[in-house]
Amino acid sequence: MRKRYVFRGTVQHVGFRYRAVSAARRLGLTGFVMNMPDGTVRMEAQGEEAALDAAKAELERSRYGSVQCCVTVIPEIADEASFEVRFVCPEIQG
C-alpha cells in the first residue's frame, strides 16, 4: 500500500524530514519526504498498512507544536527500494 501525507504545522526547520526518514527506514517503508513551497511537508510512503500508520502516528507527535496530517491512498510504485529526502518538488522542476 502507498499513501501520500501532507503535514501542516511546525514541520519545517525542525528536523521533521529527518525524523520521517528515520521512522520510515526503521519500519521498512520506501518512498520520500520533502519540504513544499507552501510550508507543508509532503511524504509518500509505501509498505505494510500497520507500518504506515505507525510512521504517521510518530510524526504527528511533535515536540515543537501541533502537527496536522491529510492522508490519501495512491498507486504503489513497483521496484522502489529506499526512503529518501528529496530537495526539489517534481511539480515545480519545470
Instruction: Give 20-63 pLDDT, tens digit per residue.
Output: 999 999 999 999 999 999 999 999 999 999 999 999 999 998 77
Catalytic entry in 35, 61, 63, 86: 35
8: annotated active-site residue: no
25: annotated active-site residue: no
What's the pLDDT at 89? Answer: 61
Catalytic entry in 2, 8, 17, 25: 17
The architecture (CATH level 2) of 2-76 comes to: 2-Layer Sandwich (3.30)
Sheet holding 41-46, edge to edge: 67-74, 2-9, 41-46, 30-35, 83-85
Place 64 in a pLDDT band, splitting at 50, 70 and 90. Answer: confident
Domain edges within the chain: 2-76
CA distances from 5 to 23, 39, 94 (A): 14, 14, 23
What's the pLDDT at 22? Answer: 95
Give the phi and the psi of residue 90 in degrees, each rounded to 5: -55, -35
pTM of the model: 0.89
